[in-house]
Amino acid sequence: MQNIWNYISNFGTTGEDRQLSQKFVVLSNQLNFVMFISMFLLLITTLITQWLTHNILSYGTLRVALTLILSFLNLVFARYGHTKLSRLSIIFLPSIVFLLAPILIGYVQEEEFTYYPYVVIGISIIPQLLVHPHKEKFLYWFSLSYYFLLVIFIDRIMVQFGKPELVEPGMYSYPIVERIKTFYPFYKIAQIGLFLFINADIYYLRILNFRFEYSLNKKNHILDLKNKELTTQRGKILLQKNIIEQKSQDITSSIKYASRIQAAVLPPINFLTEWGIDNFILYKPKEIVSGDFYWGFRKQRKIVIAAADCTGHGVPGAFMSMLGHALLNEILNNIEVENAATILNLLRDDVINTLRQKGTVGETRDGMDISLCVIDKEAGKLDFAGANNPLYMIRDGSLIIVEADKMPIGIYYEPDRLFTNKTLEIKKGDYLYFFSDGYADQFGGRRRKKYMYVPFQQLLLHNHNKTMDLQKEILDNTFAKWKGANEQIDDVLVIGLHL
C-alpha cells in the first residue's frame, strides 16, 4: 500500500509543469486519491443499501458517482503531466458537482440548508493547500472569492432553484427557512466570520511556513554549494592520493629491487658456516634495506669479521653500508692483514676522502660504528678494534667486554687519533658476539623503555651454552616480545661465534 501511495503521489512531478512546486502537485495527487477511495467506498455502500431496501437510484448516488469519476480523471490528467488541469479541477469541480449542479436541477433537501454553508467552508481549504498565495496570486484570490461568495449566497441559490413545500395558500417555502428567518442575519454573519477566521489563520500559517521554507532552502543551497566544493576538493584529494600511492608503490618497488642488490653484495647469511665456524647472524632491517651490515674476509689462515652500523637506516643507511662493504673489500685486497686497528684506520681515511669530509661547520657527519676482529685460530689469538661498538667474549661462564674506541669511522674532532688494536688469546669453546645498537636501544615493555645493554648481556650469558641456532631463535623471540606493538626504531644486527 505504501508503494501505491508513493507511486500515485509522484504523478506528474517531472512532467511539463516544472514551474510548479512539486509539493503542490504531490498534495493534489494525494487529495484526489483520498477522494477517489472515499467516493468509491461511499458509492459501494450506497448501492448495496439501495439494493437491500429496493430503492431506486437517487440524485445523491449520482453525484457520488460523478465525484468518483472526477477524482479518477484528475489522477489520469496528473499521470500524463497535466498537473495544472488536475489542480484546477479539484479546486473548483467538487463544489460544482457535489453542491451546485444538484441544486441547479432542483435537487434540494431541507436539511441541506443547515450544513451546505459549512461544507463550502470546508472545501475552501483546498485552494489554500494547492495554490501559492504569492506566485499564483490571481488563482489564489479568485478561488477564495468564489468560495466566499458561495458561502454568502448558497442559501438563496437553494431557495431559488429548489422545490419548496406549500406553507400558506399561495406561498411556497421550506419549513426550516421559515424557522431561521428571524435570526438569519446573525446566522449568515457567523458563517462568514467562520470562513474568514479559518482561511485567515491558514493564510498566516502558510506565510510562516513559506518563510521557514525559504530560509531552509537558502541554507540548503549554501550547504549544497559547500558539498559541491567539498566533493571537488575530495576528488582532487583522491587524485593526489592515487598519485602519491602510485609514486609510493614505484619507490617501494625500487627499494625492494635495491634490497636485492644489497643482499647480493653482502656475504651469504651462512658464509661463516662455510668457513667452518659455528655461528648465527640475526639480521633485522628496520625497513626494506638496512644501514647495518655484516662482512667477512678470509685471507690465508686469518679470518676477518665485522659488524657495522652506518649512519641512519633505510635508503641512506643502505648507501653507506654498500660504501663500507666495498671499501673493506678494497682494503683487504690491497694490503697484508696486520691487525684490526690498521684496517679501521684505513677504512676511516677512505670514508672521509670518499665523502669529502673537511670537518667544517654544518657538514654532514656520515660514517659508521663498527666492531672488527682478525681471528687466527692456528695462533690462538684475536686482534680487535672497534669504533664505538665493543666485543663481548664469554669464557668459562664469564662475560668479558672488550671496549672499543669512542670515535666513529668518519670525520672526528681528533683527526690524528688512531684506533687501538687489542690482542686477545682465544681457545676452543670461547663465544664471541658482535652487534649494533639496534637491539639494546629498542623501546618496549610495559613502560616503553629501552631494552638496554645489561639485560642484553644477561640474555647472552644465560643462553650461551645453547646451540647457535637456538641462541638466534631466543634472541629473535625476546626482541619481538619486548618490542610488542611498538615500531622497530633501528636496524638490528647480532653476530655470534662459537670457536
Q: Can you give the residue ranges of every domain in the chain? A: 2-231, 268-498
**What is the grid cell recorded at 5?**
501511495
397: helix, coil or strand? coil
Mean pLDDT of 376-387: 91
Would the CA dihedral through 419, 422, 428, 429 be positive or negative? Answer: negative
What are 266-283's pLDDT values in tens digits? 888 888 888 888 999 999
User: Once rounded to an integer, what is the mean pLDDT over residues 309-322?
Assistant: 81
- The full DSSP string for 476-488 is HHHHHHHHTTSPP
The answer on pLDDT for 44 being more than 80 is: yes
Residue ranges of alpha helices (H) inside 162-183 are 175-180
What is the CA 237 to chain-centroid distance, rounded?
A: 13
Of 263 and 380, the one with more pLDDT: 380
- pLDDT, tens digit (0-9, with 9 covering 90-100), for 457-477: 999 999 999 999 999 999 999
Q: Which residue has the cell 454553508?
A: 117
Question: Residue 395, class by beta-carbon neighbours within 10 Å (0-12 exposed, 13-18 middle, 19+ buried)?
Answer: middle
- pLDDT of 230 strictly over 80: yes
Place of cell 467538487: 94
Q: Is the pLDDT of residue 90 over 90?
A: no
280 touches 294 (CB < 8 A): no
Residues 6+ apart with CB under 8 A from 476: 282, 284
- Global pTM? 0.57
Determine the Cα–Cα distance for residues 273 and 94; give it in Å rounded to an integer: 105
**Cα distance between residue 154 and residue 124, in whole Å:** 14
Predicted local distance difference test score (pLDDT) of residue 164: 59
User: 347-381 b/e with 16+ CB inside 10 Å = b?
Assistant: bbebbbeebebeeeeeeeebbbbbbbbbbbbeeee
Q: Which helix (H) or strand (E) holds 157?
A: helix 137-161
pLDDT of residue 176: 60
Would you identify the CATH topology of the domain 268-498?
Phosphatase 2c; domain 1 (3.60.40)
Cell numbers at residue 406, please?
669512542
Measured over the CA atoms of residue 442, residue 447, residue 453 and residue 455, the dihedral's sign is: negative
Q: Does 242 have pLDDT greater than 80?
A: yes
Please, what is the average pLDDT of the chain?
85
Rounded to 5 degrees, what are φ and ψ at 410? 150, -170
CA dist., res. 83 & res. 288, Å (int) = 70
